[in-house]
Amino acid sequence: MASAGATPKGIRAWLRKKTRKKTKLKDVHNMLQDLKKAYKRNMSDVEGTESILEEFASEQEGNTAQIFVDKARGVAVAVTLQSAGMKRSFAAFPEVLMVDSTHDTNCNGYKHFSFVVHDCFGKVK
């Protein structure tokens, strides 16, 4: 039912109607999580990542997600996510903000983050 687009509340209503049991919404959420875990247990890391990104992109109109792969080495070099809300924020404010983060730390123990801000006058901070 969930894969067909049914909401947890709709699934709960259907279960209550068919079984005549007082099913809680939390029970439906737990059942859906168990099903997702069982489905993803049979996937490789790459397939699991793709599945999560596809799920994110399909949750709301306007969500986008991409994986960029270096085909010569066969290695993922970047993963990008942009929610519909982020797109609305970028449309409302002409400034561009980029946050770049890598996993773990460098050889000196520092986290890798970089912020780049371009204002509407072309100044970079």
Residues 78 and 36 reside in one and the same domain: no
Which residues span the domain enclosing 67? 62-117
Are residues 66 and 113 both part of a single domain? yes
79 belongs to a structural domain: yes
> Same domain, yes or no, for 72 and 108?
yes
30 located within any domain: yes
Q: What is the pLDDT of residues 61-94, one digit of tens each?
A: 999 998 888 889 888 888 888 888 888 877 877 6
Number of domains in the chain: 2
Calpha distance 97→120 (Å, rounded)? 12
5 Rama class: left (phi>0) / alpha (psi -120 to 50) / beta: left
111 domain-assigned: yes
Residue 49 forms part of a structural domain: no
DSSP letter string, 53-102: HHHHHHHSTT-EEEEEEETTTTEEEEEEEE-HHHHHHHHH---EEEEEEE
Report pLDDT digits (tens) over 12-65: 888 888 888 888 889 888 888 888 777 667 777 778 788 888 888 988 899 999
